[in-house]
Amino acid sequence: MGPAALLLLLPLFGLPPTRAAPENDEILCLPGLMKQPAFRQYSGYLNVAGGKHLHYWFVESQKDPQSSPVVLWLNGGPGCSSLDGLLTEHGPFLIQPDGNTLEYNPYSWNLNANVLYLESPAGVGFSYSDDKNYVTNDTEVAQNNYEALQEFFRLFPEFSSNQLFLTGESYAGIYIPTLAMLVMQDPSMNLQGLAVGNGLSCYEQNDNSLVYFAYYHGLLGNRLWSALQTHCCAQGRCNFHDNQDPNCTMNLLEVSRIVSNSGLNIYNLYAPCAGGVPGHARHEKDTLVIQDMGNLFTRLPIKRMLQQTLMRTGERVRLDPPCTNTTAPSTYLNNPYVRKALHIPEQVPRWDMCNFVVNSNYLRLYSTMNAQYLKLLSAQKYRILVYNGDVDMACNFMGDEWFVDSLNQKVEVQRRPWLVSDGSGEQIAGFVKEFANMAFLTIKGAGHMVPTDKPQAALTMFTRFLRKEPY
């Protein structure tokens, strides 16, 4: 029997499909690891329309990648890198403070999933555009991310029938539902659900709830609270989002200053601020460092003026997440040996955690994700998880809970504690409320980056979500 006939017979014997993954993208030796991993990983570019090249880093599941789901992960900003999720949150290895060493993460999300970390939009991290034009908007980003997924499955056809989950954090509260709108119309993708952590779901509910969160966590004091009640509230309803009363605006500027610029860690109220209490902006050598993502109190006129002024100064500006030490991941990813291992072309600029140009030019088209969630829920076949660390102020748990409640879905399991075993017995990990195809879940004591603060609870939640197990 000739070789051609043998090839025709192979499918009959149930042999595993040949791997089609792009060999040139495989990471063969990653600097910083004592021992290279047993699972395969890839880094390269997914090319989309308009000459855009989105950098991806794909880590296969540590057990049975062929049958494990494919999970897309996006960090938010807008303008921040998803490699933050990989190297500091739930990737298989975490960057150490020296900026050179990686340690294996016992709570990695690729223990039972193939995870695709995508740096989006173009201009973020190692992603770039041929024309170097980094002005974009919510609709274009959703389309680019969808095209990147199509390209991923073209390069990795062996995963195209696996279950697909879209997940992300923060401004991915916008990225993920808008992307899901496109993916749900594509029968070639096996979309099963989405999970959004500490997501920006609705600007109005985020702003309104934050003022209550701040007051009841002891940040505002009675004088300011009374003034807010007087100037921002009427007939038992408060508007802390787009109130036109000048006295209310003044009071909200004070709230914004306390929450964002006083030195509190906006991402975790009870965590220290890395590097100590900062000013709103600081200089490092020839670079102005800004620490405001621009997602809170967006209707305050002074916030918009400040952003526009900074863009006109012409000096080099770096956008850093507030109270976050980005030195270690930046040191690691800008190491020439690491860049070579990740197949990053030499002409691609240095890696930064967040990109000021992308963030400040970003056009926000949606004020709420209400319509997107209702469309997804009406299909009655996707499972949706909205989860929040309960001490985050950037996208606080109360605003997201209000948002989920406003979708008016049928409650199946009333709000109750969910448990995780910590070796000494079971502990309350947070609270969960379950609807027909959706759950809202809090993680007790976690901030904005849930897997960083509570890795075991985060992995437990993620695994139960993927397996459709009760929380």
Residues with catalytic function? 170, 392, 448
Closest among 172, 30, 184, 174 to 101, alpha carbons compared:
30
The tokens describing 273, both together, are 């601020």
What is the dihedral sign for C-alpha 115, 120, 122, 126? Answer: negative
**Structure tokens, 434:** 């379950």
Structure tokens at 362: 């970003």
User: For residues 361 and 424, what is the distance between their CA atoms, to the nearest angstrom?
Assistant: 50
Q: Looking only at Cα atoms, what is the longest distance across the chain?
A: 90
Best CA proximity match to 439, nearest among 460, 463, 413:
413
Task: For Cα atoms 420, 421, 424, give the angle at the middle one, nearest 5 degrees.
Answer: 145
Residue 158: name the closest of 114, 120, 194, 200 by CA. 114
How many Å apart are CA 237 and CA 212, to the nearest integer? 12
Concatenate the DSSP letters of all residues of 31-49 into one string: TT-SS--SS-EEEEEEEET
SS3 193: strand
* Alpha carbon separation from 410 to 180, 405, 433 (Å, rounded): 22, 10, 11
